[in-house]
Structure 1
Amino acid sequence: MALDPRWPLALFRGAAPIALGLMLWVAIAGGEQERQQTLKAQPEGNAAVLAERRRHNELVMMALREAAQTDDNVSQRQVPWRK
């Protein structure tokens, strides 16, 4: 059985995009560790800011839970609202 002359060309055409994708992935993944270190070094990464952000997220989640449990439109309430 003879090898079809179009077969190597078809393999090349199929492998070229895969090889290009792998090269791009390697180029981007190489900078990922550097990006992580840069993010850790930013001033927003300290414990006080993270604690404040967690507390804010907790307040937002409490408001969302209350909105889900009631039929009232909680977005129309005055700002210092309480249950």
Structure 2
Amino acid sequence: MAALRRWALALLRGSVPVAVGLLLWVAMAAGDEKRQELLKALPEANPAVLAERRQHNRLIMAALREAAETDDNVAQRPVPWRK
């Protein structure tokens, strides 16, 4: 009888963290759907803005690539330099 009581107590103690984790997961999943809907409605989802951001990222990567290939300190160049 004591062994059965210990098993029941161990099962209860083990199931409580699992239940709490499941409740948190369900709560976060509901918030994630709302966040996905909000992201779709942002004006930054505009194709023109995305194209501009891609071009900006290409310019930054080109500058980083040039900085990696040269021994010059590109941070010390005069300010209005362009690629």
Compute the RMSD of aligned alpha carbons: 1.8
Counterpart of 2:76 in structure 1: which amino acid?
A: Q
Q: Does 1:67 align with 2:67?
A: yes
CA shift for structure 1 position 24: 0.7
Counterpart of 2:12 in structure 1: which amino acid?
A: F
Name 1:81's counterpart in structure 2: 81
CA distance in 1, matches of 2:62, 2:2: 69
Taking every aligned residue pair, what percent have the same amino acid on both sides?
66
CA shift for structure 1 position 67: 1.0
Q: 1:14-25, aligned counterparts within 5 Å? A: 14-25=14-25
CA shift for structure 1 position 3: 6.2
CA shift for structure 1 position 34: 2.2
Name 2:45's counterpart in structure 1: 45
What is the number of equivalent residue pairs in this alignment?
82
Q: TM-score, normalised by structure 2?
A: 0.83
CA shift for structure 1 position 53: 0.9
What are the ranges of 5 or more consecutive residues in structure 2 without an aligned counterpart?
none
CA distance in 1, matches of 2:68, 2:81: 16
CA shift for structure 1 position 8: 1.5
CA shift for structure 1 position 59: 0.8
Q: Greater share of helix residues, 1 or 2? A: 2
